[in-house]
Amino acid sequence: MQVEKKYSNYTLEELLGPLNEVERKYAPKKLFVSGKLQIPLPSPKSAIIGSRKASSKGLEAARFIAKTLVKEKVVIVSGLAEGIDTSAHETAIEEGGNTIAVLGTSLDKFYPKKNASLQEFIMQNHLAISQFPVGYPTQRKNFVIRNRLMALISDASIIVEAGNTSGSLHQGWEALRLGRPLFIWHSILEKSSITWPNKMLQYGAMVLKEPEEVMEVLPTSKRVLKVIS
């Protein structure tokens, strides 16, 4: 008989601390969590997101940004998708930092399946969060919902590379709606076929030329980052 694995349950307020009116409006009722990162979550936290089918230049940029922020003790948040997300998570781990994976599936499922070992490692040694209970069916809309949660959890979001139909754009708009800093990596603006950056810039997004610029808007924390044994 297979024993069902139990995961910890938290509200968003328990994870982040006191919420404002807008955050409470969009907060899921319950979150399922697995990992060793302390609760409430430490700050600062920055999401690094982008295309699943990323270019080599995009993957290199994601690694550069993640490596730089980890040196500044920033927790790297991403969605465990292929491409930019995977690069961000793996770099954070390789550089001795901490990472949070916000899933579009329940914690007992893996998507994409090729990231199963990475998800397991994060669930054991870092932190994975889902708002979907065990056994919940995996649907396309789940990943849009996941992006909202990722925007809520992150103190800032960085879009490294994304086309006009990328799912990362959902998180960009959510971050702006929440009043959270949103950065667009500068190389995206070099592509004339990409139309979304100018729209987001009009609503307060910022062009990111150097990763260190993120530190100017991130909160600081006196809380010591620790791992629960």
Summarised one tens digit per residue, pLDDT across range 176-196 is: 999 999 999 999 999 999 999
Token pair listed for 147? 């992006």
Domains of the chain: 8-216 (3.40.50.450)
Q: Is the pLDDT of residue 229 over 90?
A: no
Share of the chain above pLDDT 90, in %: 91
Query: For residue 126, what are the contacts with CB-CB under 8 A and spacing of at least 6?
Result: 35, 36, 37, 93, 98, 99, 100, 101
Note the pLDDT of residue 220: 74
* pLDDT tens sequence across 135-169: 999 999 999 999 999 999 999 999 999 999 999 99
Note the pLDDT of residue 6: 74
Q: Is the peptide bond before 181 cis (omega within 30 degrees of 0)?
A: no
Report the candidate in 62, 67, 118, 122 with the shortest Cα–Cα distance to residue 96: 67
Q: Is the pLDDT of residue 2 over 60?
A: no
